[in-house]
Structure 1
Amino acid sequence: MSSYSRVIHHATSILCSNKGSLALQQLHRKVFQRVEITEDDFWYIVKKCSRFVAVRNRERTDEWGTDCVIVAKTSLRLCKNYTKQDCRDCQELHLCKYFVYGNCRFGKGRKQCKFSHDVRSEHNYTLLRECTLHELHEDDLFLLLLQNDPTLLPEVCSHYNKGSGPHGACTFRDSCTKVHMCMHFVHDDCMFGPKCKRQHVIDQHGRRMLEERGLSGDIINDLPFVYQNLYRLNTPTTPYTAKEHELVSSPVVKKEDRKEICLHFIRKNCRFQDQCIRVHFNLPYKWEVFDGNGWIRLHHTEDIERAFCDPRNTHSPGSRPVDFLTMTQESDPVRRLSTVSSVTKPAHYILTTEWLWYYKGDHENWIEFGRPDDKQRTTSLSSRELEEAYLADRSAEVTIMKGHRNYYLSFQDMYQRNPKHNTKRRVRRRPRFISIMEVENKTAP
């Protein structure tokens, strides 16, 4: 299979240059022009990668991929406090909003804008690198931000979509600061199509209003599709599983697809031997790289594992480091195999994997959930409780308290959000390190 990171980057770029979404079949065809990848492998990546969301088309057909639209997704946002000069260290982009809109009047004149137009500043580039968006073209990045952050664009007017007049039931008419557009078109279920009496494009009134807000003509032209994608990304949908069932739900587990290390083999008492459905390895973790033909073991496994267990690290040591954020080594996919999570087994089971959960502190440090921070405040949930919630639903959002404040932790985006101040902290899930010597001592007869 081709490199995961290359496929994800090309697919993201293609989606953003095609108004943010494409049918699965079209997207695969365009990606295949640059990276040779089978339909099944491509679908597997799309379903597993948080960069993409698969939603159903309203009009289904039987051809592969034509009943499924892929939408580009990101958790990255513009910092709302940056323009108020009230932001220190945050996990959001520091950029001029009107620069993202494509029409900052200061950026085009002699007077320099007091807010950043530099997507590659030290602060911004670090965030883009962590989200693997650092290679994305500037215009593509801006479209991605617009279709993922509903606060950047005016709402679609609900009153316009009621009543029978040219402005519907909107009493503001031409002075309305919301977009007059068919809500059924936005929801992708308008039965009238081009004969609909409501707008499926931005009309002259809407164009003037949006231009006054600083949006460029090119972005305004794409807005009907951006609004559709906003709706797709912010509306709970039934997961698209027809093809996934065929690919990953088969009862026959191929050897190269096995990812759980056998606890019994480590203790030298697996009775299934070669017929075991789990991986036989002498450690509770194993690092592998895909060389184009299959998965092969990486050398210096213990060193890679030690680095990975430290939440501060984004790379392993050595001349060819593993990137823990993209799970690649140079351009090759990397994976980590491990024993089952410790929360799924009784306490007397040895060499299960104990996963620890961390959030980023105020001083570039990482603090484990349930442990006191520098002000002796602790979170209401511990690593074990978060691990149990994560295994129950990996797309869930849980509420956490620290002191008198509520936070929301999204497993899908791996961010902890403060709803009052709309700030975010990055979250990481890393295992507790266990050395080769410890494993040998625990398994000694």
Structure 2
Amino acid sequence: MHSKFQNDDIEVVARRISKLLIGQKTPISVDHICQKLKDVESDMLKKVIDKYQNHFHVFQQPVVKLMTKIDICKIHCSKNRTCPGTEPLCTGLHICKYYILSSKCHFDKHCTFGHDVRTDHNMKILQENLLADITVDELKFLLSSADNRTSLTVPRICKFYNVENDKCRHSERGSLCPDIHICKHFVLGTCKFGKDCLRSHGVLEKRNGEILSKHGIDVNKTETEIVKDLRKGISGIASRYYL
């Protein structure tokens, strides 16, 4: 029996697969996807996954996991700059990163960065990434996944805290540092000093825990699990904050 879907419907199937995979904490098998989408045969599924390789990551078993290239616009989240939001200039969501990662924005509806996922700009980006039907909770889950973290959504390690005298410029100015104060080598798994390290290895120290929580990281996990998620999130990010 041939699948009723033709080439023109590949995008339709891709959107259905995306909807199925959203919220899955672990990858699911190709066979399981076919069972859920009963009118989609394995040949069609393979065509879709092959065409949208940036959206679906296939492991050897084979199992499939939803990936996304969507980011939150860095310019939009800047206090002193305004993003024109014109495609293809901007491909990031115009939304408060703390709202979308954890809902822990202190400004609520008065937030200048916005909490509306359904603006014309945001909907265009979601549509282009096969996620037009995604709910707010599903988008939060997707963007807070370690696999989908970007340089904007990964909690930053304070680079000033990690220099010679452990001095943080924010602390010296009497302001609250937005980055976690922790030994970067500990997070990266390269600290040679262990318990004798002069810098903190306390992932869940009060201020660090608050920052992690705002970034959508589950602070009820063990410290080992949190460090693993952090390491996974920053791996592959060529960022001055971690090098």
Distance 1:226 1:163, change over 3 A: closer
1:22 aligned onto 2:20: no
Once the two structures are superposed, the pairs formed by residues 364-383 of structure 1 within 5 Å of their partners are none
2: CA distance between counterparts of 1:174 and 1:73?
31
Q: How far has the Cα of 1:224 moved from its partner?
A: 7.7
Identity %: 21
Q: Confirm or deny: 8 A CA contact 1:102 1:219 kept in the other structure.
A: no
1: CA distance between counterparts of 2:149 and 2:126?
16
1:42 aligned onto 2:69: no
Distance 1:91 1:229, change over 3 A: same
Q: How far has the Cα of 1:82 moved from its partner?
A: 0.7
Q: How far has the Cα of 1:119 moved from its partner?
A: 0.7
Q: Confirm or deny: 8 A CA contact 2:57 2:64 kept in the other structure.
A: yes
Once the two structures are superposed, the pairs formed by residues 215-234 of structure 1 within 5 Å of their partners are 215-216=215-216, 230=233, 234=236
1: CA distance between counterparts of 2:192 and 2:27?
33
Distance 1:144 1:217, change over 3 A: closer
Once the two structures are superposed, the pairs formed by residues 327-338 of structure 1 within 5 Å of their partners are none
2: CA distance between counterparts of 1:96 and 1:121?
13
User: How large is the RMSD of aligned CA atoms in angstroms?
Assistant: 3.8
1:87 aligned onto 2:93: no
Residue among 104, 108, 111 paired with 1:113 = 111
SS in 2 for 1:13: helix
2: CA distance between counterparts of 1:229 and 1:12?
22
Question: Bigger relative contact order, structure 1 or 2, given CA contacts below 8 A and separation 6+?
Answer: 2
Distance 1:96 1:52, change over 3 A: same
Q: How far has the Cα of 1:77 moved from its partner?
A: 1.3
1: CA distance between counterparts of 2:50 and 2:217?
34
The residue type equivalent to 2:27 in the other structure is L
Q: Which segment is superposed worse, 145-154 or 72-81?
A: 145-154
Largest Rg, 1 or 2 = 1
Q: How far has the Cα of 1:220 moved from its partner?
A: 7.1
Q: TM-score, normalised by structure 2?
A: 0.61
Q: Confirm or deny: 8 A CA contact 1:95 1:115 kept in the other structure.
A: yes
Q: Confirm or deny: 8 A CA contact 2:70 2:92 kept in the other structure.
A: yes
Q: How far has the Cα of 1:133 moved from its partner?
A: 1.5
Q: Confirm or deny: 8 A CA contact 1:159 1:168 kept in the other structure.
A: no
Q: How far has the Cα of 1:210 moved from its partner?
A: 4.2
Ranges in structure 2 where 5+ consecutive residues have no aligned partner: 158-183, 238-243
SS in 1 for 2:64: strand
Q: How far has the Cα of 1:40 moved from its partner?
A: 3.4
1:159 aligned onto 2:165: no
SS in 1 for 2:59: strand
The residue type equivalent to 1:173 in the other structure is S
2: CA distance between counterparts of 1:170 and 1:76?
37
SS in 2 for 1:105: coil
Higher helix share: 2
Higher strand share: 1
The residue type equivalent to 1:55 in the other structure is F
